Amino acid sequence: MTKKIFRSGTVALLGRPNVGKSTLMNNIIGVKVAIVTPKPQTTRHRILGIHTDDDMQMVFVDTPGIHKGSKQLNRNMVRVAYAAAEEADVLAIMQDVTTPLGSETKSLIEQFAKGNLEQPRIHVLNKVDKANKDKLLPRLLEMQKLDPEAKAYIPISARKGQQVEALLKELAKHLPEREPLYDADWFTDQSQRQLAAEYVREQVFMSMHDEIPFQTAVDIEQFTDLGHGKVEIEAVILVGNERHKPMLIGKGGEGMKNIGIRTREGLEELLDCKVNLKLWVKVDTGWFDKPAKLNELGLDG
């Protein structure tokens, strides 16, 4: 009897900020393991999403968007993305087809095409549900010129799930033949504590003006399983500037109340239990440029 071939390996999701990497991974995994907001640099560290079926295990590595920035946090985030590319079995390089193929995206594509990484590359053209269909074919042709040795160029809609199955089939072709890397019932390597911090930060990002999200971080000070289907979480929201604290708290504490309600609802669905969530705001001026603080928060790259 012929032994059934099983494939498993890692797929690095790469690209500039806000191209849909986290949305794609969440769609495939079926659980929100990576937070999603319209704000740049939402993803700050490497996040695993694990998809397992009868024939394969695909471990997606969601990475921070590759961008330029002067702060230590920016540099750490970009370093995380390139490290994930070096360690992955397959590179999935994503772009947003609703925006022009600008110089920074071209440079990123050419960097991987002409670099010293030998992993197979798949180009993922996302947001086709919102794109001008007449411009899609020219975009595909341009991609083939920029990276003629890529294995495939696949248009998808991560949000709606269009062509995602086709992408999975293509990615699976390039995974090594080997045993699963994780147990079949795992969907991420993040702890509940890490997921809680990310869910709080997501709601902070969604609530604040453009300048504030980058200067906020979340530190879970306590995560206690109370038993009987209840957990208690105490979280500190760090802000990098004194004037941001009242803006985050809001008039009469309304801002923090709304962040807490939305976070708790998301966590209760994820953890399938009742959540008692306590939030505080603390000012730590310039935390995003302090190596020691970034190390403490797990953002040292």
- The predicted-structure confidence for 245-298, as pLDDT tens digits, reads as follows 998 899 999 999 999 999 999 999 999 999 999 999 999 998 888 888 888 888
Tell me the per-residue pLDDT of 214-251, one tens digit each, with 9 for 90 and over. 788 999 999 999 999 999 999 999 998 898 899 889 99
Q: What is the per-residue pLDDT for 213? A: 65
Tell me the per-residue pLDDT of 45-86, one tens digit each, with 9 for 90 and over. 788 999 999 999 999 999 888 877 768 887 887 888 889 999
Average pLDDT over residues 128-136: 90
- pTM of the entire structure? 0.89
Q: Which domains does the chain have, with CATH numbers?
A: 7-173 (3.40.50.300), 192-296 (3.30.300.20)
Question: Is a pLDDT exceeding 70 seen at residue 159?
Answer: yes
In which element (H, E) is residue 109 found?
helix 103-114
Q: What is the per-residue pLDDT for 286? A: 87
Model confidence at 212, pLDDT cuts 50, 70, 90, reads: low
Model confidence at 209, pLDDT cuts 50, 70, 90, reads: low
Question: Is a pLDDT exceeding 60 seen at residue 38?
Answer: yes
Determine phi and psi for 13, rounding to 5 degrees.
-90, 115
Question: Is a pLDDT exceeding 80 seen at residue 208?
Answer: no
- Per the prediction, the chain carries an average pLDDT of 91
Question: Is a pLDDT exceeding 90 seen at residue 122?
Answer: yes
Question: Is a pLDDT exceeding 90 seen at residue 211?
Answer: no
Question: Is a pLDDT exceeding 70 seen at residue 299?
Answer: yes
Share of the chain above pLDDT 70, in %: 96
Higher pLDDT, 123 or 80: 123
